[in-house]
Amino acid sequence: MRVLHLPYGAPMIELCRGLRDKGIEATACHFSDNRYKFQPDICLHLNSYPPNEREEKVTEFFYEAIQTYHIFHFHFGETFFPDKRDLAILKQAGKKMVVHHHGSDVRLLSVAKRFNPYVRVKPEWTEEKINNNLATLSSYMDHAIVQDPELQEYTSHVYKHTHVIPHAINIREFKPIYPDVNNRSPLVVHAPTSRNLKGTEFILHAVDELKQLGISFQFKLLEGLTYEETKDLLSQSDIVIDQLRIGASGYISSEAMALGKPVICYIREDLTEKYPGEIPVVNATPSTITNVLKKLIQSPDRWVEIGKKGREYIETYHDSRIVANRYLEVYNQL
């Protein structure tokens, strides 16, 4: 079984490694280079070509891929071509396909606002664009994958089957470094991919307010860094703040928990019981972040306990070797 993942995204890289551990020939392909310097198995480097040559490069790769791969695993609601004309060709060629949605490509503001007053969406993903995209994808694919129950709300009525599978973490590459309870000036970090979506303004306000109160801690905003630089600073931190708007735990939450760090993140109250097991994040909203952060900073006795629970949670539900089995189950249903 040969599986091609495309066209971008960090989660596919670790997932493909986990699948290869299971004997599946899985390949992670990014169409362009990225600012985080992720290392996929294949990169077409489309950003280095003039716009008029990019489609030619994709077309050439597309027809090579048809001869090579059995399953096409599309991420972020995108395929080889913007107009999705490749789907009809792949279907006619007898290829199996699955779509993997990660967030903004399915999150409808009108739906999200019913349950979450804090939510924001990317303006380029209008509801018309999302609905049209989902209609096209679901006409060729019966199976969709999402990473958490929040995203399931937007896909379960569109596809015949929606599979909720936690993103894969290679726990062997994340050595837990639990916080030092004797550290009187703990390092708090926040690594937003999008300030607006993550609620960064509320975090910065909370930091300023706590500094003015004389609370002793350090704070680093991790932006403009490579993936490895971000991971290194996460490992040095004592407390990690993920996001305060979306209402679900993110990739940073999982990586920080794998490193043994207590994580602050907003998970919608109505969704907490839908996660596998009891997810050990410290819940906070834009309205509560100041008090939540203050309480956690001043409770060093809780840091290691939360960190260990987080590490155990990742080992149980996110280990790439375990998660890979879930994907194999999906592939066998295609």
CATH of domain 172-317: 3.40.50.2000
SS3 323: helix
Helical (H) or strand (E) element with 55? helix 51-68
Percent of the chain surpassing pLDDT 90: 94
What residues does each domain of the chain span? 2-168+319-331, 172-317
Window from 10-14, 185-189, 298-302 with minimum mean pLDDT: 10-14
For 45, the token pair is 């480097």
Is there a common fold for 2-168+319-331 and 172-317?
yes
- pLDDT tens across 108-154, in order? 999 999 999 999 999 999 999 999 999 999 999 999 999 999 999 99
Q: Rounded to whole angstroms, how far apart are CA atoms 320 and 76?
A: 20
Whether the Cβ atoms of residue 97 and residue 71 lie closer than 8 Å to each other: yes
CATH classification (class only), 2-168+319-331:
alpha beta
Instruction: Please tell me the pTM assigned to this model.
Output: 0.93
- pLDDT tens across 14-31, in order? 999 999 999 999 999 999
Q: Rounded to whole angstroms, how far apart are CA atoms 19 and 157?
A: 28
Residue 287's φ and ψ, nearest 5 degrees, are -80, -25
